[in-house]
Structure 1
Amino acid sequence: MAPLMLLVFLLSEAASDLIEVTVHPGDDVILPCQAAHPSIRAAEWTRPDLEEPEYVLLYRDGHLDPTYQHPDFKDRVELVDRDVKDGDVSLNLKNVSSIDNGTYECRVAPAGSRRRKRAIIDSEPIRIIRLQVPEPAGSENRNSSTVGRYRGLAAGVAGVLLLVTVAVLKYKRHKNKTSGPPAADDDDEASGDKFI
């Protein structure tokens, strides 16, 4: 029984590390992340669901490094504390939209840790945040009313074309009846022959 309780405790602790944040489109949001060490050599924010590169933000040796940053986040992210004082590596994400929906992971490498040429921090995330950016309320209704207007317009245009086609056909039939071959009496009189 004790091992089962320990497993439940560990799983609940792991689950509590996930934070869910909901933000309206167009807003800015701060994703919090606090390292245990006050002195940070490198920090990375990633989104594992992105194609390579998956970096949202990469900080190393006192500077932001845009080299491996995913293009969707260029010029839209920064650290709340650019000096990373007291281990604060919270992320400021500007002008959020539905493309920002996803799970964000924060990892840090404390100062004095082994230096690597590549910036990948090989450790478990210290913070995991699931960001949700719902569509604005009523956007589905606006989209369906716009589609309805286009369908109505298309039906109206189709109706007008049908009426024009019918009118042209009736005109041609009427013209063919009135300008048909000359009557037989007219031909007989013109030739001088009379039938008695």
Structure 2
Amino acid sequence: MSMAVLASVIMTVLSSTSEDHQDVKVRPGQNATLQCQSPASTIRLLQWSRPDLASDGYVLFYRDKRSVQSFQLPSFHHRVQLVDPEMKNGDVSVILKNVTVNDSGTYECRVSANSKEHRKRATPETINTIVLKVQHSGLTGGNSDDGRHISGHLGAFVPAAGLFLILILAFVFLVVIFKKSKRRSENSDSPPDI
């Protein structure tokens, strides 16, 4: 396989995975909007799930024009709503209210449409995957006066300071090695003592 073909395959894989994957970052207590757009305009079945949880429940389970709360994980009861309850133009996005750090994880949006073709499928089609990150600090956005935004700057400063320290130590090490090798070469050039 030539390098050009290999590069083309890699770019295709990367572009196809980036189209259906999103990262969403919010702070605890905020609402998180998880975007999902179905190509079908009439939705028969909608499932929002957390595949990273070892559970059979759902974040949201919607079938035949209504939400089925008995299939929903208890931690999501009364906290999840559709952005557009009528799901016009295939918008099946949801709002997750009052998020906590425990809500961090991977969310999948799966849809089955009201068409003969889609009814033949046993499972809904995955439309979108979202990684939700609920973090206390280090997020871009409004500054608060409570001092928490400083830790975000420190989070960027600490790795840079560590890298700088490593570079200085490497430089000192190289200088010491250079001086020792220079002394050895000077000692080997001088005539032996008799």
TM-score by length of structure 2 reads 0.63
Identity of aligned residues (%): 41
* Residue equivalent to 2:55: 52
1:19, 1:130 within 8 Å by CA — same for their partners in 2? yes
Deviation at 1:11, TM superposition (A): 1.4
Higher-Rg structure is 1
Gaps (5+ residues) in structure 1?
142-196
CA distance in 2, matches of 1:83, 1:122: 19
* Residue equivalent to 1:7: 9
* Residue equivalent to 1:38: 41
Deviation at 1:68, TM superposition (A): 1.4
1:98, 1:133 within 8 Å by CA — same for their partners in 2? yes
CA distance in 1, matches of 2:39, 2:112: 10
CA distance in 1, matches of 2:28, 2:75: 15
Two-structure CA RMSD over aligned residues (Å): 2.2
2:111, 2:124 within 8 Å by CA — same for their partners in 1? no
CA distance in 1, matches of 2:110, 2:88: 16
| 2:65 is the counterpart of 1:62 | yes
Q: Deviations over 1:84-126 (max 9, x none)?
A: 111000011000000100000101101123279xxx7343x21
Structure 1 segments, 4+ long, off by >6 Å, are: none
CA distance in 1, matches of 2:51, 2:109: 11
CA distance in 2, matches of 1:10, 1:107: 23
* Residue equivalent to 2:27: 24
Within 5 Å, which residues of 2 pair with 1:121-136? 121-123=123-125, 125-135=126-136
Deviation at 1:9, TM superposition (A): 2.7
CA distance in 1, matches of 2:114, 2:60: 18
Gaps (5+ residues) in structure 2?
138-146, 152-194
TM-score by length of structure 1 reads 0.63
* Residue equivalent to 1:173: none
